[in-house]
Amino acid sequence: GNSVTQMEGPVTLSEEAFLTINCTYTATGYPSLFWYVQYPGEGLQLLLKATKADDKGSNKGFEATYRKETTSFHLEKGSVQVSDSAVYFCALSDPGGGADGLTFGKGTHLIIQP
Amino acid sequence: SAVISQKPSRDICQRGTSLTIQCQVDSQVTMMFWYRQQPGQSLTLIATANQGSEATYESGFVIDKFPISRPNLTFSTLTVSNMSPEDSSIYLCSVGDRGSNQPQHFGDGTRLSIL
């Protein structure tokens, strides 16, 4: 079955540091890949997505590239802010995106210190 | 993207009671999904709700415990039955469209505590 593995947290960084959160997946075929963010006390928000190999998703300074050869979708940001403190979830769905339930990683709690 | 409203946003319930959570979408959608997020954990899919048919449950979840209704293309309910403290979680509704490449969007969730 499908699975998503992401680095355990919490990850603590200083403001303006470079961020990488690793995510690897196991799936049949070519899944769609997503990063969702959950701010304290809120629901999940879609951060970015990629639907095929070598696609790069980007939003709010965050980027992730769909790497089929390494089955990875690592999240990066060049300069983090205190407001980026949240829990980040990597997720995948079968091709088609909207028709199937998502498989989530365990989440990475990111803490940015001023 | 679709706007998803969940009610209630939070509740505290007594052991042995049941609670029905509502999910309302501002546009017609093919697929609606219910997830559970236990404290400090990731999200786990409970079931997929299709209009006009019975919900499809994931392994470990059964209809008697989590009955679901999907009366039309903009609304669904999830009932958590005969609750115990282990059911204390955030329950989230999400929506998607069959055959679409668009990602799922989530409501803000229902924070449920069982005493």
The secondary structure of A33-89 as a DSSP string is EEEEEE-TT--EEEEEEE-STT-EEEETTEEEE-BTTTTB--EEESS--GGG-EEEE
In terms of DSSP bridges, do strands A108-113 and A11-14 run parallel, antiparallel, or are they unpaired? parallel
Q: In Å, how far are A21, A70, B32, B35, B105 from A33, measured between CA atoms?
A: 14, 14, 19, 18, 14
- Cβ-contact A43, B92 below 8 angstroms: yes
Report the pLDDT value the prediction gives residue B104, as an integer from 0 to 100: 82
Whole-number percent of chain A with pLDDT over 90: 75
Q: Label residue A9 by pLDDT band (50, 70, 90).
A: confident
Chain A residues at the B interface, defined by Cβ less than 8 Å, are 32, 34, 36, 42-46, 49, 51, 89, 93, 96-107
Report the pLDDT value the prediction gives residue A110, as an integer from 0 to 100: 97
Task: Give the mean model confidence (pLDDT) for residues A80-103.
Answer: 84
Report the pLDDT value the prediction gives residue B31, as an integer from 0 to 100: 86
Give the C-alpha separation, B22 to A69, whole Å. Answer: 42
Q: In Å, how far are A26, A52, B18, B51, B99 from B110, measured between CA atoms?
A: 30, 33, 14, 22, 28
B9-36 per-position pLDDT tens digit: 999 999 999 999 999 999 998 889 999 9
B29-88 per-position pLDDT tens digit: 888 999 999 988 889 999 999 887 789 999 999 999 999 999 999 999 999 999 999 999
Distance from CA of B44 to the nearest CA of A (A): 7
Taking an 8 Å cut-off on Cβ atoms, the answer to whether B101 and A96 are in contact is: yes
Task: Give the mean model confidence (pLDDT) for residues A61-81.
Answer: 97
Distance from CA of A79 to the nearest CA of B (A): 26
**Residue A96 pLDDT exceeds 60:** no
